[in-house]
Copies of this chain bind each other. A is one copy, B any other.
């Protein structure tokens, strides 16, 4: 803070200083800050705004500062407020007055926007990679359990038989969309803001395209006021992360359900479970529960950033310093959750007898019975109605549908014939034979296609 208090007569209040400082969390930006400064210095030299020699000195100094940070010998000083000032101050200590030339033709406003974009660009890449790893875990478990049948649910009521692999591939699709969203957001992230100055641009003959090229940016920003005011890319990441965490919360919910004594469809590996401080018999799916609980974190961070940006006049306002912690936390939460979920999924032990047993109870073939009648010429609505009454009768008598006699079937519709007894879990699955259906051969194709997409970064 001290460095930019030139016109002030008083020092900052201590509490105000600590309130406004960001070094305790923005130190993480250091590799991006230094990379950006090096590209900037090189351009200043190339353009003759500083001499090539000065540029070299500055770049050498910045590399030395980075090394200090990486070796842990750098001392972060809160009174210097943020990572930018910490690095610049140390640079000047190291290379002398010439270090003060680095900030020529830029402002902290475009500098911090640059750092955040570089960080966000990396965070997008890492999210895509982590998503692919979880997709792979799903594909592996699906592939290893191709023949496993389980009840498909709606309203948490058993509905129709499906393949476990089909169910798991539903999550593959969700994650595929997540990847799509992160990739889309990259278009609006991968833009160089440097050169926007405080808000109006800078009064030097800068070469923004060369800086963009050096830092690997697709484009340069087109309006300086917008460039220092824009945090859309953080909100977009936050939205994509929230939707992704929502998907993970559904997967987590199912792992919790499936590993309950009541479902007993899977066992979570010991490495992803914990015990109880008091109940010796417990094995709790903590990782799944925490993944579900951390969903709130992503939502909350998104809301935090949306609220912060609401109604801010252009261009930069200090409120926007609050973009960092929420964003960092979302990135950390998302990546950690994807990783532990991949580990948890890939080590799940599936219990096929248990899922098969569940398929046999609950009249899961009722839809197939209605379809049977339809194929015999009954309109769907009345077929549905007849079978509904048939099921009610079976339920009252505590019988399975295949425990009824043909004569009993025929009380509900004369269209029932002997072939009604050929309806089975297998016939039910096989009949759903179209793109997206749970027929085994379709699921086999879907698995093959999923494996191909895994290769696609």
Contact = CB atoms under 8 A, between A and B. Distances in A.
Interface in A1-38: 1, 3-13, 15-16, 18-20
Contact of A439 (B184, B201, B358): B201
A316 B155 contact: yes
B195 A436 contact: yes
A455 interface: no
Interface stretch (A65-73, A117-125, A284-292, A414-422): A284-292
A204 B374 CA distance: 10
B155 A246 contact: no
Interface in A200-242: 200-206, 208-209, 220-230, 232, 235-236, 239-240, 242
A405 interface: no
B304 A300 contact: yes
Contacts of A261: 151, 157-158, 358, 361-362
A164 B287 CA distance: 28
A450 to B, nearest CB: 9
A302 B301 CA distance: 10
Interface residues of A, number: 201
A428 interface: yes
Given A1-B274, A200-B437, A280 B388 contact: yes
A306 B296 CA distance: 7
Q: Which of A171, A274, A310 lies at the interface centre, i.e. has the most chain B CB atoms within 10 A of its CB?
A: A310
Contacts of A61: none
Contacts of A435: 195, 208-209, 220, 222
Given A304-B300, A434-B208, A256 B155 contact: yes
A170 B229 contact: yes
Given A290-B319, A340-B19, A436-B195, A173 B223 contact: yes
Contacts of A437: 195, 200-202, 224
Contacts of A300: 300-305, 307, 326
Interface in A265-314: 269-287, 289-290, 292-297, 299-314
A318 interface: yes
A249 interface: yes
A174 interface: yes
B161 A446 contact: no
A217 to B, nearest CB: 13
A303 to B, nearest CB: 5
A75 interface: no
A172 B107 CA distance: 23
Interface in A96-151: 97-104, 106-109, 151
Nearest to A385: B6
A159 to B, nearest CB: 5
Given A12-B270, A12-B272, 5 more contacts: A154-B284, A235-B246, A254-B313, A299-B307, A300-B307
23 contacts: A4-B384, A6-B389, A15-B340, A103-B381, A107-B276, A152-B198, A152-B225, A154-B199, A155-B285, A155-B318, A156-B257, A156-B317, A174-B226, A195-B435, A195-B437, A198-B278, A209-B435, A224-B432, A224-B438, A236-B243, A243-B306, A252-B311, A262-B262
